[in-house]
C-alpha cells in the first residue's frame, strides 16, 4: 500500500510538472593517475576489465544537513587537478555565455584559474574567441565538433525520424521538431568527453549560456570531488518530460539484463525507480550543471550503455535528452555515495533556482538569492527523494520552502 501511495504521489507530481513545462515553454536542458573506488566494469578506457574493482563499504549517506559539511574541502590553489570548464555554444551565444563565464569566474575561478574548453559544430568567430578569452582566468581553448558526432548515424531511418518530429510538433512537445537539439543531446550523451581538447583532463564542470552562480565557492570543487571519492555532482533534479523518453527505460532494462555486472550492490536504482526497476520515475539530474569525473563517461560500462542506446535510435526516433541518459547511468553504475548534491553553489538556469535555504550558509557564502525562489524542496523536485533514499539529513528550515 505504501508503495502504491508513493507511486501515485509521483504521478501527481509528474502531471503538475508536465503542465508547468507546457505553460512556461522554457528550456529544460540544452543539453589517470587518480585512484577511484569504482563499480566493477567502470574502467578508465574501453578495454575489458581484468579484475573486479574494489567495492565501497560505505552505506547510504548520513551526512550533515548540507550534504557536504562533513566532507573534506581544499581551500588552497596549490596542485590543481586536471580539470576544465566545458561549454557547448554557438557564435550567437557569445554575450549570454559571457555572462555565465563572469558569474563562474567571480564566484569561483578567479582564485583557481582552471581552463575553459568551448565546443561548437561550426568554427568559432574571432569575436567569440576575443570576448570569451578576455573573461577567463585559465587557458581558453576552442574546438570544432567532428561531423560524425553531430549528424545522423548511418543506421537511422531519416523518414521515421522526420515522422517523429512532425508528431511531436503537433503535440507541442518542447524541441519536439528540432534536429539540432537532438544532435546536441546525442553529442552531450556520447561524445563531448571524446573530443581531442578534453583528453588531457580528468574532471569537468559544464557551463551553459545565461546561467548564474549566486554564492561564493571558496574551496576547490574538483579537489573536493577527488578527495571525497565523488564522481558526479548536481544542483537541480526534476522529472523528465515523459513524452520525450517513452522507450528509454525499456531500452535500459534490456541493457541491464545483458550486463548486470556493471551495477554495484549499492547503486541508486531506488532514486530513479519507485518499483524496483520495473519503471522509470523520470527523476534526473539537470545536466546544464554538472561537475564530474570524465572517467565515468569513458568507462567500459558507460561506453557500452551509450552504444546500446545509440543503436536503438531513441535520440532521433524520440527525443532522448542527455540529462536522463547521464542520470540513469550515474544512478546505476556508481556507488550511491559517489553522487553529490551541491547545496552551497546557488545556481540558476531558466526557469529554476537553487538557493541555499539555510540562512547561515547563505550569509557565510555571500549568496545573492532569495530562498523563496528555491526549487529544491518543491513538490515536483526530485531532490527530496535523493535525500530520502540516501538517508540524508535535510537542511535547517527546509519545510518553510517546500510549498
Q: What local confidence, expressed as pLDDT, does residue 79 receive? A: 85
d(CA 244, CA 236): 19
One digit per residue, the tens of pLDDT, for the chain of length 403 reads 444 444 445 544 544 444 444 444 433 433 333 333 444 456 544 333 323 333 333 334 434 334 444 688 877 777 899 999 999 999 999 999 999 999 999 999 999 999 999 999 999 999 999 999 999 999 999 999 999 999 999 999 999 999 999 999 999 999 999 999 999 999 999 999 999 999 999 999 999 999 999 999 999 999 999 999 999 999 999 999 999 999 999 999 999 999 999 999 999 999 999 999 999 999 999 999 999 999 999 999 999 999 999 999 999 999 999 999 999 999 999 999 999 999 999 999 999 999 999 999 999 999 999 999 999 999 999 999 999 999 999 999 999 999 7
C-alpha cell of residue 211: 546561467
Active-site residue (options: 290, 300, 318, 385): 290
d(CA 255, CA 303): 12
Question: Whole-angstrom distance between the N-terminal and C-terminal Cα of the chain?
Answer: 25
d(CA 334, CA 327): 10
Q: What local confidence, expressed as pLDDT, does residue 160 receive? A: 98
Complete domains list, the chain, with CATH? 89-143 (no CATH), 165-402 (3.90.550.10)
d(CA 147, CA 157): 18
Beta strands 232-234 and 290-293: pairing type? Answer: antiparallel
Q: Is 363 within 8 Å of 339 (Cβ atoms)?
A: no
Beta strands 140-144 and 237-239: pairing type? Answer: unpaired
Give the ranges where 107-220 is alpha helix by DSSP (H). Answer: 110-112, 126-135, 158-170, 179-190
Q: Is 215 within 8 Å of 107 (Cβ atoms)?
A: yes
Task: For 130, list phi and psi in degrees, rounded to 5.
Answer: -65, -45
The closest of 322, 235, 321, 231 to 268, measured between CA atoms, is: 231
Asked about 290 being catalytic, the answer comes back as yes
Amino acid at each position: 500500500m505504501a508503495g502504491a501511495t508513493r507511486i501515485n504521489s509521483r504521478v501527481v507530481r509528474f502531471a503538475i510538472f508536465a503542465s508547468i513545462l507546457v505553460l512556461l515553454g522554457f528550456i529544460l536542458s540544452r543539453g589517470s593517475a587518480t585512484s577511484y573506488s569504482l563499480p566493477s566494469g567502470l574502467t578508465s578506457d574501453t578495454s575489458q576489465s581484468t579484475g573486479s574493482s574494489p567495492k565501497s563499504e560505505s552505506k547510504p549517506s548520513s551526512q550533515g544537513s548540507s550534504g557536504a559539511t562533513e566532507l573534506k574541502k581544499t581551500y588552497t590553489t596549490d596542485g590543481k587537478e586536471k580539470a576544465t570548464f566545458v561549454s557547448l555554444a554557438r557564435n550567437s551565444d557569445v554575450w549570454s555565455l559571457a555572462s555565465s563565464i563572469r558569474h563562474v569566474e567571480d564566484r569561483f575561478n578567479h582564485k583557481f584559474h582552471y581552463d575553459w574548453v568551448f565546443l561548437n559544430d561550426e568554427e568559432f568567430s574571432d569575436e567569440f574567441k576575443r570576448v570569451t578569452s578576455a573573461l577567463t582566468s585559465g587557458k581558453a581553448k576552442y574546438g570544432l565538433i567532428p561531423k560524425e558526432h553531430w549528424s545522423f548515424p548511418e543506421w537511422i531511418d531519416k523518414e521515421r525520424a522526420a515522422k517523429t518530429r512532425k508528431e511531436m510538433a503537433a503535440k507541442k512537445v518542447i524541441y519536439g521538431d528540432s534536429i539540432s537539439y537532438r544532435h546536441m543531446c546525442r553529442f552531450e550523451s556520447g561524445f563531448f568527453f571524446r573530443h581531442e581538447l578534453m583528453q588531457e583532463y580528468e574532471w569537468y564542470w559544464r557551463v551553459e549560456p545565461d546561467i548564474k552562480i549566486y554564492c561564493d565557492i571558496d574551496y576547490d570543487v574538483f579537489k573536493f570531488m577527488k578527495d571525497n571519492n565523488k564522481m558526479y555532482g548536481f544542483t537541480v533534479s526534476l522529472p523528465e518530460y515523459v513524452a520525450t523518453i517513452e522507450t528509454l527505460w525499456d531500452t535500459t532494462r534490456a541493457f541491464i539484463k545483458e550486463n548486470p555486472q556493471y551495477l554495484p550492490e549499492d547503486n541508486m536504482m531506488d532514486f530513479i525507480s519507485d518499483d524496483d526497476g520495473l519503471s522509470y520515475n523520470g527523476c534526473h539530474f539537470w545536466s546544464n550543471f554538472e561537475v564530474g569525473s570524465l572517467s565515468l563517461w569513458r568507462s567500459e560500462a558507460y561506453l557500452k550503455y551509450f552504444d546500446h542506446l545509440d543503436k536503438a535510435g531513441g535520440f532521433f526516433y524520440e527525443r532522448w535528452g542527455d540529462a536522463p541518459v547521464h542520470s540513469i547511468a550515474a544512478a546505476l553504475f556508481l556507488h550511491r555515495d559517489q553522487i553529490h548534491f551541491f547545496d552551497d553553489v546557488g545556481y540558476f538556469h531558466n526557469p529554476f533556482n537553487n538557493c541555499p535555504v539555510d540562512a547561515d550558509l547563505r550569509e557565510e557564502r555571500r549568496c545573492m538569492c532569495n530562498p523563496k525562489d528555491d526549487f529544491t524542496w518543491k513538490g515536483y523536485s526530485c531532490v527530496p527523494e535523493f535525500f530520502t533514499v540516501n538517508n540524508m539529513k535535510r537542511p535547517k528550515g527546509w519545510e518553510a520552502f517546500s510549498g
